[in-house]
Structure 1
């Protein structure tokens, strides 16, 4: 098979991908047996001249003939097809079924790998199944009851279930293709296998996580909802020996995969009380900003995306202040909405979300400023209290009813009285107020510098009527559960922290990868509990 890179074509496409490949390799389309698109991206550097750029893998009827002709071409190389092969099991005997805590990406990945390997994991999820959870979240967004155990942060699929479902990652790892294929097998759209910035969308992602649960159960695993792990017991040697669920039920185990997510604050405190080594880590806080999607499309493409048949445009912006702070866009959601993402009573948290079609007509992104470990005070859990402080201020400024404080960019920059803005999507509602009162001074001062800078990058970005909503505090975990090279928590043998909550991942793909690699480490060490035939 040959990999052919840098296949460029104008937008909209006037030739088939087969014709473009044949032209680049100076062969006939009839020579091509089949084509697999590996990557598709948009090049808008010379707008309004927009190009699609493809990388494809091509099988030919006579590969040797084609290879002799183009072997010296810089955009063509020969590749071998490879399939994922699970690791060979170890020989240490497991006395009990392994436990996985959490059904976010890292927990699902670990549980699925262990189940398929014959280890029969038990998965404990503190929240509800995705259908019940979705109903609870919609009720809350419509002004109804807030539920501390069933919300945007807790429940089947983790926090990513109510997001854009972005699958981008800075990590370059051979397992990523296998992960994407696993998601496709669970119902994700096939184009995630080749799109430059792949996303699933919250509407499809809900079905994907449900299907992954069924895959785990069919492979021998057990998934339990409304089951919060309230204690992890260790023996006299410090090894994990049991977990306590909901304060009363005890399950003996040798292995606990801890995929709690970045918002399980009570679990962090439990781990701290039980002597698990934790440390502070940097994170970021800020606001959500919203624009008419056409403003972003025109800034990025030079025209409306629909005119060229392109997806709604996204952006990635960063500003470095003279004081050493950075302000950057985070979790940008084209055609989406800002959502209420609280997980504790009396606190307001924002997040962004998009459906698969990204067709709301409104773009949103977090604009956040880095928070260092020196900013938050002493102790490994100081970052949590820092987050809580500003979430409580936001709750009070919003009216103590889970409405979010909001302000226009013009009012924020000019220090004028808050006035209603043009575009805002946050439910259950917003209260117009001064965002300077709900964020640290170093965050608001950096935002004041960054907004005009971003306005020079994308025209209209800092227009007076643009709306910002606060507060965005859950960009990443403020805590790291320290682990060794064996992927176990320091001084807690058998405890395997994974994913965003452990402080070793950021986003769906890196969390999924972390969970899978940890499961593979467990597989290499232990014998399965049952023999897998044709596994």
Structure 2
């Protein structure tokens, strides 16, 4: 097949226009094309009032033998190339004789990273055992609604903990800017479609699924893992790692320990030489235990800020002009960046068109916000995180403390709880009041979507002064890109603190911990992903590395 990129068509184009445009680009007749498949479709709304679709199309010629000659004739046309082979290929297979029980890999955490690590290992025949501290996704959903509807928090079952991970209660975004030379992202999307996602995620430039669909998809993937011999155990919190003492072999590095299993909170020990640590970014107690055990980790930058809500219709008009509301375009999104005069960068984060702001804390006495959309993106408001970069130098504490970022987050979240009235309501402020430096006593025409509710107040103490200053500068600057962004009645809700993990567990080229042999830090919590797709891709990569090491070991564990 031949791949053609950058085919621009109006959003109301007839179906026959696409193969005609492909044929014109190739300089052939439409009849010379046997078939065409859309690989990618994006919306270009930069031309005010005239958005268009930009296509990448894979074309099969009626005369397959003519591909080489056509490519040679089009050598100067950068938008035409051979279609790459994106099929997934497994790196290994478990022995036909079966896997000894003690050789079965363990996966700690069942978010996107853990799900795909388990799925890939199960598909290769390695019968993984998954240990998830939270509950099955539907039980977890009921617990999450308990916070949203009744202000009752379950610290072990919430937006952060449980089957599906934090991404289950999100917009379900499935795009990323990671490098992906092996096309693992395509494997992720293909598995999602097999589990029930709409096929359009295979070609939309910014695919999303939404919370309700994610729930059933997670259940379908769990069933496949079990059918392939995997085991998934819920409400099983890992409290400690077990090591060989002294080092397993004389060739081990002096500061390198060898993993031999895990200990659960209930005291049970499960032996395995290969453990994927697919924690979410909110597994703070587990990070503390790992630090006490001497597992290598380091503080890393992240971002903090607020959620901002506007009427979705305002964003649609700003982005699509007279085409606002066209169902072919859907709810408009945005991506904004401002480099403030104090050296900070302010940017939009996890923008949720037609969505809601949700309570996302996992700890008592704290308020944390996040954004969520359903597949339809049909709610009244658009919301996005508006966040400011934070570096380890901002955390306070000792410079070499890898847990300092967690302490920094907790201080902000605990203060937000107090600002909101100490009821899990969130502190909120009108944008006009925030920019003017005065407290909000009431809210205006934009009705905040956060449940269990908001408390109008002054957000100036909710973040460090440098963050407040940067945000007050950025919001008017964003107005120049999105007309109405500084709408006085738009609502800021605090605080957004869990944009990414505040630490990283360093790993080597073999994706194992730099000082614990057999431990594979993975995904968002370990500092190697920032969303559903990137976490899932990292899960695949770690599963492959683990499988190769397991096969190289001869699968003879004592």
> How would you bin the TM-score normalised by the shorter chain?
over 0.9
- Correspondence for 1:355: 374
- Correspondence for 1:391: 413
Write the distance in 1 (CA, Å) between the matches of 2:83 and 2:490: 49
Q: Is the 8 Å Cα contact of residues 111 and 121 (structure 1) preserved in structure 2? A: yes
- Correspondence for 1:84: 88
| Partner of residue 148 from structure 2, selected from 141, 154, 171 | 141
Write the distance in 2 (CA, Å) between the matches of 1:360 and 1:528: 52
Q: Return structure 1 stretches of 4+ with deviation > 6 angstroms.
A: 528-531
Q: 1:497 to 1:465 in 2, by over 3 A?
A: same
Cα deviation, residue 257, structure 1: 0.3
- Correspondence for 1:194: 203
Q: Is the 8 Å Cα contact of residues 119 and 530 (structure 1) preserved in structure 2? A: no
1:368-392 Cα offsets, whole Å, 9 max, x none, are 0011110002211010000000100
- Correspondence for 1:41: 42
- Correspondence for 1:209: 218
| Partner of residue 120 from structure 1, selected from 107, 119, 127 | 127
| Partner of residue 224 from structure 1, selected from 214, 219, 233 | 233
Residue ranges of structure 2 left out of the alignment (5+ in a row): 248-256
- Correspondence for 2:3: 3
Cα deviation, residue 26, structure 1: 4.7
- Correspondence for 1:483: 507
- Correspondence for 1:276: 295
Residue ranges of structure 1 left out of the alignment (5+ in a row): none
1:261-287 Cα offsets, whole Å, 9 max, x none, are 100000000001111111100011000
Q: What is the TM-score of this pair, normalised by structure 2?
A: 0.91
Cα deviation, residue 65, structure 1: 4.2
- Correspondence for 2:253: none
Write the distance in 1 (CA, Å) between the matches of 2:258 and 2:136: 31
Q: Which of 106-115 and 27-36 deviates more? A: 27-36
Q: Is the 8 Å Cα contact of residues 407 and 421 (structure 1) preserved in structure 2? A: no
Q: Secondary structure at the match of 1:511?
A: helix
Write the distance in 2 (CA, Å) between the matches of 1:432 and 1:511: 36
| Partner of residue 433 from structure 1, selected from 443, 457, 460 | 457
Q: 1:308 to 1:209 in 2, by over 3 A?
A: closer
Q: Secondary structure at the match of 2:133?
A: coil
Q: Is the 8 Å Cα contact of residues 296 and 514 (structure 2) preserved in structure 1? A: yes
Q: Secondary structure at the match of 2:38?
A: strand
Cα deviation, residue 144, structure 1: 4.4
User: Matches of residues 16-415 of structure 1 in structure 2 within 5 Å?
Assistant: 16=16, 17-65=18-66, 68-69=69-70, 71-72=73-74, 73-79=77-83, 81-88=85-92, 95-173=102-180, 174=182, 175-236=184-245, 237=247, 238-307=257-326, 309-377=328-396, 378=398, 379-415=401-437
Q: What is the TM-score of this pair, normalised by structure 1?
A: 0.95
Q: Which of 117-126 and 140-149 deviates more? A: 140-149
Write the distance in 1 (CA, Å) between the matches of 2:157 and 2:193: 27
Cα deviation, residue 412, structure 1: 0.6
Aligned length: 530
Write the distance in 1 (CA, Å) between the matches of 2:514 and 2:162: 28
Q: 1:509 to 1:153 in 2, by over 3 A?
A: same
Q: Which of 72-81 and 256-265 deviates more? A: 72-81
Q: Secondary structure at the match of 1:49?
A: coil
Cα deviation, residue 34, structure 1: 2.4
Q: 1:448 to 1:144 in 2, by over 3 A?
A: closer
Write the distance in 2 (CA, Å) between the matches of 1:484 and 1:385: 27
